[in-house]
Amino acid sequence: MSAKPARILSIAGSDSSGGAGIQADIKTITMLGGYAMTAVTAITAQNTLGVHSAEILSADMVAAQIDACINDMGVDAVKIGMLGAPQIANIVADRLEQLAVPIIFDPVMVATSGSVLADSDTIAAFERLLSIAALTTPNLAELDALGGDSAMAQRRVAYLAKGGDSGKDTLTDRLIRPGRDELRWSAERIETRHTHGTGCTLSSAIATFMASGLALGQAIERAREFVRLALYDAPGFGAQSGPLGHQAVRMDLIGEPRLNQITLAATNYQEAVLFYRAIGLTQIVDSPANGYARFESEGGVTVSISTGHGGTGAASIYLECLDVDAYTAMLREHGIACPAPADQSWGWRESWITDPGGNRVCFYQAGEIRRYPPWRI
């Protein structure tokens, strides 16, 4: 039997259009294999144009929802988003202070559309939550409202300073932890207007990965990949800041190793391409000069054909790893002659072995470049 899913409690506001807040959290947690529970703090009427109306629930009602989840279902991690009132911030802190699980605090103050979601009294009440959170995830404007890096250093708390609003072509997120070296993740900006709910998605993904056993740095890395893939797969809804495509990412980042691709030998390139298109697969790489094509099915699993593949066995199987170096090291410890992974010019990190029948097996790590390489059609 498979392991039970990690239980994630999201304490946040409801987004009627489904792109952010509680709705984005539920989608993220579910797609990453977790079990989503909620404590709704506010009901909003919003869409990609902005927040049109909002009603804040009572602090007692928020507390009752938290109690109902924790006391019966149990919880493995908590994500905190929009709170809406200082009374809610304080009662949430009351309920969570004694929990020995990761708490990810997204200090929501301003929506992507520009709507203000926290007044000055609510921001002042954030202090207790900052102190109990395993990680706080402010964007640049929120970090400034919290006093900047100097004020966060005085608080001696861990935080991820998100760089998505910097306006630069290369975006950098910085993880700062007291007494430890700063970690940075950088990537090229994905040009899209569909960014509604990126902060909610990132924080709930981090919570889900940590509840599933990943360390903080690795959870952030995988959560960033999830967000970027969802940006690529945005469905295109709405007139302005549209929602992400959570539904298309399909647990891509869960499991180790995860069967992802098979490469088959082909004798006639054009015939093979036409065949795999005809049976319903989507061609995503077309390189006739190299005799290589790749096709994708729903969920991102791929099959490739290669005219130069006949001498390497009947097939090559690709197994995706969260940490290919650690996984191949474990295989060597168990007596499998698996060479150390090597970086490839196309952005993957790979280690190859051969099975008893002469087929090749590849353990690899690629991140978003696996789904969205620069040469994708």
pLDDT at 142 over 70: yes
User: Is the same domain home to 226 and 299?
Assistant: no
pLDDT at 26 over 60: yes
The CATH number of whichever domain residue 274 belongs to comes to: 3.10.180.10
Give the pLDDT mean for 145-157. Answer: 94
Cis amide bond preceding 86, omega within 30: no
| Catalytically annotated residue among 44, 69, 122, 200 | 200
| Catalytically annotated residue among 44, 136, 137, 198 | 198
d(CA 168, CA 160): 18
Count: domains in the chain: 2
Whether 376 maps to a domain, the answer reads no
Active-site residue, 79 included: no
Assigned token pair, 322: 């969260």
User: Is the same domain home to 203 and 292?
Assistant: no
| Catalytically annotated residue among 195, 201, 208, 263 | 195
pLDDT at 180 over 80: yes
Active-site residue, 195 included: yes
Give the pLDDT mean for 321-339. Answer: 92
Nearest to 210 by CA among 160, 260, 170, 155: 160
pLDDT tier at 1 (50, 70, 90 boundaries)? very low
**pLDDT > 70: what percent of the chain?**
94
Residues 260 and 301 sit within 8 Å (Cβ to Cβ): yes
Domain edge (last residue) among 226, 248, 270: 248
| Catalytically annotated residue among 79, 112, 162, 321 | 162
pLDDT for res 108: 87
d(CA 300, CA 371): 7
Active-site residue, 313 included: no
Please give the C-alpha separations between residue 44 and each of 107, 152, 199, in angstroms, as whole numbers.
Answer: 17, 30, 17
Find the angle CA(181)-CA(186)-CA(192) to the nearest 5 degrees: 145
pLDDT for res 197: 95
| Catalytically annotated residue among 34, 199, 245, 300 | 199
Residue 73: which domain range?
7-248
Active-site residue, 198 included: yes
Assigned token pair, 125: 């009440």
Taking only the tens place, the pLDDT of each residue in 70-92 is 999 999 999 999 998 999 999 99
Whether 345 maps to a domain, the answer reads yes
Q: Which residues contact 169 (CB under 8 A, 6 or more apart)?
A: 188, 189
| Catalytically annotated residue among 19, 21, 81, 197 | 197
Predicted structure pTM score: 0.86
CA terminus-to-terminus distance, the chain: 39
Active-site residue, 201 included: no
Strand, helix or coil at 5? coil
pLDDT at 179 over 80: yes
Give the pLDDT mean for 282-306. Answer: 89
User: Is the same domain home to 117 and 229?
Assistant: yes
Active-site residue, 357 included: no
Assigned token pair, 118: 């926290």
Whether 111 maps to a domain, the answer reads yes
Taking only the tens place, the pLDDT of each residue in 271-293 is 999 999 999 999 999 999 989 99
